[in-house]
């Protein structure tokens, strides 16, 4: 029973920590930053200086998309680090059945968050997730169009 209570307490603590998480990523050129919350939603966007004003619309869109993606991936990596010990303990003990730790996060059952939580549930190395690959492809295409427009 003591082992169960210890595992349960660790699980609940991880759930609370995951629910409070956010992550901020900075663009490669340091001209902007994006913060996302535990559900992967954008909660803050900051621009530094005026460099973004000289970007064509497609270039600015690519910069924003790339920075949002980086913030979401950063959040996923941090969440994995928090969840890993608990998931390992639950696998060893087989005491928890049903929902995963991701399903216990606020907003996990909301259909609007389905894509974000799908990436969480399918594991890390999210860089290889189809959703992430599609976002990166879109950002690359926008950047390529920007370069073409400047020529």
What is the per-residue pLDDT across 45-86, written as a single tens digit (0 to 9) for each? Answer: 999 999 888 999 999 999 999 999 999 999 998 988 888 887
- Tell me, what's the pLDDT at 102? 63
Position with higher pLDDT, 6 vs 30: 30
pTM of the model: 0.59
pLDDT at 120 over 90: no
* CA 122 – CA 50 distance, rounded (Å): 39
- Tell me, what's the pLDDT at 59? 93
Alpha-helical (H) ranges within the chain are: 2-20, 57-93, 114-122, 130-150
Instruction: For residue 142, list its beta bridge partners.
Output: none
Residue 15 is given by DSSP the state: H
pLDDT in tens, 28-49: 999 999 999 998 899 999 999 9
Element (H, E) at 38: none
- Tell me, what's the pLDDT at 133? 58
135, 85, 93, 38: CA torsion to nearest 10:
-50
Region 78-106: what's the mean pLDDT?
Answer: 65
Mean pLDDT taken over the chain? 75
* CA 63 – CA 84 distance, rounded (Å): 31
pLDDT at 92 over 60: no
pLDDT at 98 over 70: no
* CA 14 – CA 45 distance, rounded (Å): 27
- Tell me, what's the pLDDT at 96? 43
- Tell me, what's the pLDDT at 94? 46
* CA 134 – CA 17 distance, rounded (Å): 29
Position with higher pLDDT, 78 vs 103: 78
């Amino acid at each position: 029973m003591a082992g169960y209570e210890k595992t349960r307490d660790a699980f609940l603590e991880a759930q609370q920590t995951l629910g409070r998480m956010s992550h901020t990523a900075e663009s490669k050129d340091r001209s902007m930053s994006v913060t996302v919350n535990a559900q992967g939603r954008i909660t803050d966007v900051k621009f530094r200086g005026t460099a973004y004003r000289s970007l064509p619309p497609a270039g600015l869109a690519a910069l924003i998309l790339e920075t949002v993606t980086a913030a979401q991936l950063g959040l996923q990596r941090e969440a994995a680090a928090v969840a890993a010990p608990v998931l390992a303990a639950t696998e060893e003990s087989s005491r928890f059945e049903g929902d995963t730790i991701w399903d216990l996060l606020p907003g996990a059952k909301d259909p609007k968050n389905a894509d974000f939580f799908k990436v969480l549930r399918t594991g890390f190395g999210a860089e290889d997730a189809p959703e992430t690959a599609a976002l990166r492809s879109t950002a690359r295409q926008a950047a390529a169009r920007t370069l073409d427009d400047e020529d």
